[in-house]
Chain A
Amino acid sequence: MLAEIGLAALALAFLLTIYATFASLAGARAHAARWRESGRRAALLTFPALLLAAGMLIIALMTEQYQLTYVYEVTDPRTPPFYRFTALWGSQRGSLLFWSLLLSAFTFGAISLNWRSERRLMPYAIACMMATLAFFLGMSLILENPFERWWISADGQAVARALIPAGATAPTEASLRAGAEGLNPLLRHFGMAIHPPMLYLGFVGFTIPFAFALAALASGDLSSGWLRVTRRWSLIAWIFLSIGLILGGRWAYDVLGWGGYWGWDPVENAAFLPWLMGTAFIHSAMIQEKRGMLKLWNMFLVIATFSAVMFGAFATRSGVIDSVHSFARSEVGFPMLAFWAAMTLIALGALLWRWNRGELRDEQQFANFLSRESMFVLNNVVFVALFIAIFWGSFALPIASELFLGKEVTIGPETFEFYVVPLFIAMYILMGVAPLSAWGRMSAARLGGALKLPLMLSLLSIAALILIGTNAAVASFGYGVVLFAGFVALYEIYRGAGARRRSLGESPLRALAALFGRNQRRYGGYIVHLGVTVIGIGVIGSTVFQTEVQHTLARGETVAVGAYALRYDEFTRAQAVDGRMMSISDVTVLRDGAEIARIRPRVDEFPQMPMTIAGAHSTLENDFYVLLISGGRERATFRIYINPLVNLVWWGGILLIIGTAIAAYPKVLPERPQRKREAS
């Protein structure tokens, strides 16, 4: 019964999306309010319909309905309830349904919040959102149906069908339970509860800005309205994508067992590409808002961000690239490629048409090279260059090489680092210089004067680092550049709060609170910059100064690694509640002869693969990270990493999220009454 209800809800949602698309388009073209309203209601209804469908699948997962092939493939009788729930997005079919559910939720939110304020754009935006949703639901219904069930056909063969074939019977419960496969071991981690949903929220969220951009192009309403709406929705999508990327790094660090958090894997890169484009848009949208410039470019960035999301979905789900993050090879590849190409071409065609009509002409000209808008344009160049280099190495070159030269290639970290290191240096320098520049005109003398203090502090920091014994010149320079961006953010906050204290006589804390309250976007942005600074320090420390060694130790033997020592104490074999066997080693971490921690690196043996689970002793200074490579009771081989400052990567990520939340949070107080109060 669950499967029937789920399937009916899925089909209903699909029909609603088709209807909403055409009704909204008809209403917009014919200026028919009834059609527009009907399209809106149909679009709103897709959310409860998909909530019902997803609810049915969750109930099936939780109550072990193994006749559903999806439940059979991603769980088994030993799967704990927590992983039964997260299995909703653990494989292709469930995750497509989950993607659709999130898209319908975003559409519901966008319609509820923007229907009144953006009446001219909304029908076109709804049509775009519904067309995208219709595509994903169509794939769920036709190619990757999560409500497909096992049947025993009349000739005794096991077949998977959504509807019962003629003469078929249901298999026995016992045979289904015995054969259930269970969740991919890589996905049995607490991060699975948060990382994929956050990433999907980011990906799906970028559909809304794209829909509004396309609506503006289709309707010809290229006023500031679409940008205002788009920027806020972009920030919401960006914050989720950022959280998803940070959690993905943490998941890799904990589960993949290689002592790092970013491996330049193609699927990691596929998630990073829309983030780069989205970041470029968030910055350049400010130029259009403040100066009425870069209208064409902003439209292009919104389209490129959505296009990157769709390409990423295609790359991850089609099987065109293999990765620990990708889904198995599937039939959705070609439809996804076609949809990606069609949406991108339609949007670019509309953009060029409007551009050719002169409707995206800038209202101002670039005043000089040192102006803030010029700095933002350079910032965009850096992000686009990063996008090109990463896209080339991850997808374009491997695919082109295989197609035209018949050679498979793998592009590893050493190739990516060749580009991204100088580009990130440029990004940090611009992060430092741009906030101190002014809109319109800026003289070199004025900019130089503003830069003096942060630059001096950065140079002093480099000198201090050298004095305390940082012997790697590259690292000292890197720290200096990254700190420069951080000092500018702090300096700007200090200057703002100081100005309020002087003019209004406020206490430091009140001045700071009022500063953030009055200009959330600006100062929230500085917190984001501080977060990126902290991440930068963590990345430099954990890559340049990482120590990696492998040692085989007898029980009771100790080995020195850097300032630490590791003693191998004990070895245990145990079985977990879900049936996996675990080889657990007990080791003691020592520093200056004193025991500071006992950790238990282990290997989990799943039928599909072994999983190396690290044991780590974490401090703000570094992580002492140990992997059990092989061994037994008498001797064991360990790979030991010392990852200096790695925890700053996570702390910086938290700061970045706080900053974005401040910037995106709707203003509580209207501007005018506050001004009046302050004046009085």
Chain B
Amino acid sequence: MRCQALHHSDQPLPEAAGQKRTALSEYLEQIVFPAERGNPAPTSPFASWKITWPKTARLLILCLALGWTAMLARAQGVEVTDNDVIQVAERMYCPVCENIPLDECQTTACQDWKEEIRAQLAAGRGPQEVIDSFVARFGDHVVGLPQDPLLRALAFIAPLLATATALGLGVITFRRFSRRPALSPNFGDAAGEQTDEVYRQRLEEDLRARR
């Protein structure tokens, strides 16, 4: 919500995405849809072999090509913007100053962590993977939402149960009170005066008992 204008960092950057889509789609068209479908002759090295490829072999090559592209992207690194780093950092907390979000903290430790986030994102890890790696090394206190299933359940369910219990106790109490006869059967806006009257009566009874 806070970063509505930011793009999600596990999505490719617009220009990079465009480049990837063009190269891949051209290659796909050349391999999967040959010249009889109106596409130009394949320009891949395999085309010059003049062998009719069965469908399975084409798919195999496609998978290899995809794998190759992914490996290249991973090896060369993905461009990571400051906004990508912020988006992860704002879900984490400073390791030194408790309760200070990582993206806001200016300590050296936080700068180092932000650089590590940048490096992990550049290596192709998704935001959640990055967070998980920090939690695995430093524990649940580095994130605002516990990753441990028990703690997460406690964080969400316990207040609900406590509120429901408080509500239940309240209802039981009101019912008990409702069953008791009211001190005054009258409705009205002079409850204060009635209360004083009740108090005076009780005081007089106390005094009579003392005598």
Contact = CB atoms under 8 A, between A and B. Distances in A.
Interface stretch (B34-42, B54-62, B178-186): B178-186
B140 A413 contact: no
B2 A543 contact: yes
Say which size band chain B's interface belongs to.
35 or more
Interface in B95-147: 97-101, 103-104, 106-107, 139-146
B2 A223 contact: no
B142 A322 contact: no
Nearest to A561: B5
Interface in A389-405: 389, 392-393, 396-397, 401, 405
A179 interface: no
A551 interface: yes
B163 interface: yes
A257 interface: yes
B195 A363 contact: yes
Contact of A410 (B1, B93, B166, B187): B93
Nearest to B196: A223
B104 A257 contact: yes
B184 to A, nearest CB: 5
Interface in A605-619: 609-610, 612
B151 interface: yes
A266 B194 CA distance: 44
B4 A393 contact: no
Interface stretch (A19-27, A66-74, A132-140, A286-294): A286-294
A548 B182 contact: no
A470 interface: no
A290 B186 CA distance: 12
Given A359-B202, A361-B180, A548-B6, A321 B98 contact: yes
Contacts of A408: 139-141
Say which size band chain A's interface belongs to.
35 or more
B49 interface: no
Nearest to B154: A397
Contacts of B156: 415, 418
A222 B199 contact: yes
Interface string B71-89: 0000000000111001000
A266 B93 CA distance: 14
B198 to A, nearest CB: 7
B65 interface: no
B191 A292 contact: yes
B209 interface: no
A548 B2 contact: yes
Contacts of A223: 195-196, 198-200
Interface string A437-470: 0011000000000000000000000000000000
A11 B1 CA distance: 54
B159 interface: yes
A365 B106 contact: no
B144 A413 contact: yes
A393 B86 CA distance: 24
A637 interface: yes
B108 to A, nearest CB: 11
Contact of B99 (A265, A296, A381, A547): A265
B189 A439 contact: yes
A362 interface: yes
B3 interface: yes
A550 interface: yes
Interface string B192-211: 11111011101000100000
Contacts of B98: 321-323, 410
A362 B176 CA distance: 11
Interface in B135-178: 139-146, 148, 150-151, 154-156, 158-159, 162-163, 166-167, 170, 173-174, 177-178
Nearest to A291: B191
A291 B188 CA distance: 7
Nearest to B174: A366
B142 A364 contact: no
A419 interface: yes
A650 interface: no
Q: Which of B2, B99, B142 has the most CB of A within 10 A?
A: B99
Contacts of B106: 609-610, 612
B192 A224 contact: yes
A411 B183 contact: no
B156 to A, nearest CB: 6
B184 A389 contact: no
Interface in A347-392: 359, 361-367, 377, 381, 384-385, 388-389, 392
Interface string A241-269: 00000000000000011111001011000
A68 B49 CA distance: 92
Nearest to B148: A407
Contact of A548 (B5, B97, B141, B163): B5
A562 interface: yes
A364 B167 CA distance: 21
A77 to B, nearest CB: 26
Contacts of A561: 5
A220 B146 CA distance: 48
Contact of A393 (B139, B155, B163, B184): B155
Given A322-B99, A381-B170, A367 B187 contact: yes
Contacts of B146: 401, 409, 411
A365 B91 CA distance: 49
Given A407-B141, A419-B159, 20 more contacts: A222-B195, A258-B103, A291-B187, A292-B191, A293-B191, A296-B173, A364-B184, A381-B167, A385-B163, A385-B167, A392-B155, A407-B139, A409-B151, A409-B155, A410-B93, A410-B99, A411-B144, A414-B145, A547-B3, A548-B3
30 contacts: A221-B199, A258-B104, A265-B99, A292-B191, A321-B98, A322-B99, A361-B183, A362-B182, A363-B195, A363-B198, A366-B178, A367-B187, A381-B167, A385-B163, A385-B166, A385-B167, A397-B151, A397-B154, A409-B146, A410-B143, A412-B145, A544-B1, A545-B4, A547-B5, A548-B86, A549-B6, A550-B82, A551-B82, A561-B5, A637-B82
The 9 closest A-B pairs by CB, nearest first: A412-B144, A292-B191, A322-B98, A223-B199, A550-B82, A408-B141, A224-B192, A389-B159, A258-B104
